[in-house]
Amino acid sequence: MSTRTLIRGGLVVTAAEEVHADVLIEDGRIAALAARGTEAAAAWTADRVIDAREKYVIPGGVDAHTHMELPFGGTFASDSFETGTRAAAWGGTTTVVDFAVQTMGRSLRSGLDAWYAKADGKCAIDYAFHMILSDVNERTLKEMDLLVEEGITSFKLFMAYPGVFYSDDGQILRAMQRSAANGGLIMMHAENGIAIDVLVEQALQRGETDPRYHGEVRKALLEAEATHRAIQLARVAGAPLYVVHVSAEEAVAELTAARDKGLPVFGETCPQYLFLSTDNLAEPGFEGAKYVCSTPLRPREHQAALWRGLRTDDLQVVSTDHCPFCFTGQKELGRGDFSKIPNGLPGVENRMDLLHQAVVDGHISRRRWIEIACAAPARMFGLYPKKGTIAPGADADVVVYDPAATQVLSAETHHMNVDYSAYEGKRVTGRVETVLSRGEPVIDKRAFTGRAGHGVYTPRATCQYLN
Ligand code: URP
Ligand code: ZN
Ligand code: ZN
Ligand code: ZN
């Protein structure tokens, strides 16, 4: 039996256009749009009618960078797939692409199967996986081909974290050559980890142990250097490249220069780099630990280059790199040694609102908001137009967004399983009202109506910017 939902009276905003239209949903998909006042729209009937007058009707957010339950620094990211995807839904995100992890010495298959098992039956919204390569060898390279066929079409490599996730330039080149052949996309954590580790050791020897030194040793120049090197290696391999969590102005400049040459090089930044800075890392009393992530927060002056990159399309995607660790018991592991603070910030619930605030603040247009938060990540990772837009045939992942409501971000009211908010006390304009995932209400007028297991695993096509 078919269920019909009608969203009436809203302003439909996609990356391509803004139109006052009613949206008809049938069996979990967008069936049709009809402009306000037309006969077609007036004639529609439905089992459920959602009043969206004075509201935006936008595609559900696609967060292409999350780490639920990530093992890191002797602990695990504090959001499970259940709590993390529920929080995502609260924030208007209806798809996450998380990272399965290859363990050193093990196959991609065993890592991927472990992540399928962690997420299975737990997610409130749809999900997909990238694969982190920690051990690039002949077998890993062959397995990459199989994963691309299976819908795992992107692979993260690390130029940082020697001894943990690190790959050397030879391994990176080989993985890039493989992805050039099999259609996969290499995602790069671009920081010179070998040089950073020297600076970490020297800082600790000088007694510089506070969280703010995390930001000082992980230098912007070492992000820029690694970004440059990754771009040149990708050129040599003839492979496309996606640089994750770009934070330094100098790194943006490397991406801009590459794109000006016409190279298939893409960049992502995250809300923490747009809204937070080294001022937060320097907060007294170990509070700075709450803001330890890599790449690190930068001095505030870097933000202008990130906003400009987002406007000029030198940066294409904003995702969260959601990787929460509680202050109590987890961030505290690094008291007396900043290098032992688990790296990562919570944010999966806040991204859509913070980027709407960027619209209010005049950094980006309303359509660019939807582009960088929904459409571009879906295209980048082979989920478009199923995800990332509102168009006939697309999954009915739809958010009714109230652009006039105001809220104060706080750990008291958020739904992420973490004991602090990186944006505590920040006032934002705009709030999610209702969220549909494949036509089902998961948030209904600010009440959670979803369930663990509604979200399904979604295999992906290859990057859609390349064809
Ligand atoms: O600090 C961060 N970003 N933690 C998550 C792991 C990563 O490098 O993305
Ligand atoms: Zn990273
Ligand atoms: Zn990450
Ligand atoms: Zn159902």
Provide CB contacts within 8 A for 454, sequence distance 6+: 123, 124, 125, 437, 440, 442
Paired residues of 436 in beta bridges: 398, 441
Q: What is the mean pLDDT of residues 387-407?
A: 98
Provide CB contacts within 8 A for 464, sequence distance 6+: 379, 380, 382, 384
Q: How far apart are CA 66 and CA 97, in angstroms?
A: 6
State the closest ligand 1 atom to the C-alpha of 165, by its place in the atom list counted from 1.
8
- How many CA atoms does the CB half-sphere of 179 hold within 13 Å? 33
Residue 1 has pLDDT above 70, yes or no: no
348 and 93 Cβ atoms separated by less than 8 Å: yes
Domain map of the chain by residue range? 4-58+389-407+425-443, 60-380
| Nearest C-alpha neighbor of 295 from the set 257, 253, 244, 346 | 244
Q: What is the mean pLDDT of residues 78-107?
A: 98
Nearest CA to ligand 1 atom 2: 344
Residue 386: the pLDDT is 98
Query: What is the whole-number distance in angstroms between the Cα of residue 388 and the centre of ligand 4?
Result: 21
Query: What is the whole-number distance in angstroms between the Cα of residue 126 and the centre of ligand 2?
Result: 22
Query: What is the whole-number distance in angstroms between the Cα of residue 207 and the centre of ligand 2?
Result: 27
| Nearest C-alpha neighbor of 394 from the set 142, 57, 132, 118 | 57
Q: How far apart are CA 165 and CA 111, in angstroms?
A: 13
Query: What is the whole-number distance in angstroms between the Cα of residue 410 and the centre of ligand 1?
Result: 22
Residues near ligand 1 (Cβ within 6 A): 67, 189, 245, 293-294, 321, 323, 343-344
Superfamily of domain 60-380: Metal-dependent hydrolases (3.20.20.140)
pTM of the model: 0.98
ipTM metric: 0.92
Give percent above pLDDT 90 in the chain. 98
3-class DSSP state for residue 64?
strand
Q: How far apart are CA 420 and CA 91, in angstroms?
A: 16
65-89 per-position pLDDT tens digit: 999 999 999 999 999 999 999 999 9
Nearest CA to ligand 1 atom 9: 321
State the closest ligand 1 atom to the C-alpha of 67, by its place in the atom list counted from 1.
5
A 10 A CB-CB count for 161 gives 19
From 66, 156, 281, 293, give the residue whose CB has the most ligand 1 atoms within 8 Å, as the site to mutate.
293
420-462 per-position pLDDT tens digit: 999 999 999 999 999 999 999 999 999 999 999 999 999 999 9
Paired residues of 156 in beta bridges: 132, 187
106-157 per-position pLDDT tens digit: 999 999 999 999 999 999 999 999 999 999 999 999 999 999 999 999 999 9
Q: How confident is the model at residue 26 (pLDDT cuts 50, 70, 90)?
A: very high
Residue 40: the pLDDT is 87
The average confidence (pLDDT) of the chain is: 98
We find that the CATH architecture of domain 4-58+389-407+425-443 is Roll (2.30)
Residue 2 has pLDDT above 80, yes or no: no
| Environment of ion ligand 2 (residues, CB < 5 A) | 189
Q: Taking the alpha carbons of 244, 250, 256, 260 in that order, is the dihedral positive or negative?
A: negative
φ, ψ of residue 431 to 5 degrees: the values are -160, 145
Query: What is the whole-number distance in angstroms between the Cα of residue 135 and the centre of ligand 3?
Result: 17
Alpha-helical (H) ranges within 364-466 are 366-370, 376-380
At 231, the amino acid letter reads I
For residue 190, what are the CA distances in angstroms to 47, 169, 222, 227, 274?
50, 12, 8, 5, 18
Query: What is the whole-number distance in angstroms between the Cα of residue 279 and the centre of ligand 1?
Result: 20
173-187 per-position pLDDT tens digit: 999 999 999 999 999
Nearest CA to ligand 1 atom 7: 294
Nearest CA to ligand 1 atom 8: 294
Unique residue bearing structure tokens 């002056």: 301
Query: What is the whole-number distance in angstroms between the Cα of residue 340 and the centre of ligand 1?
Result: 14
| Nearest C-alpha neighbor of 367 from the set 355, 379, 350, 378 | 355
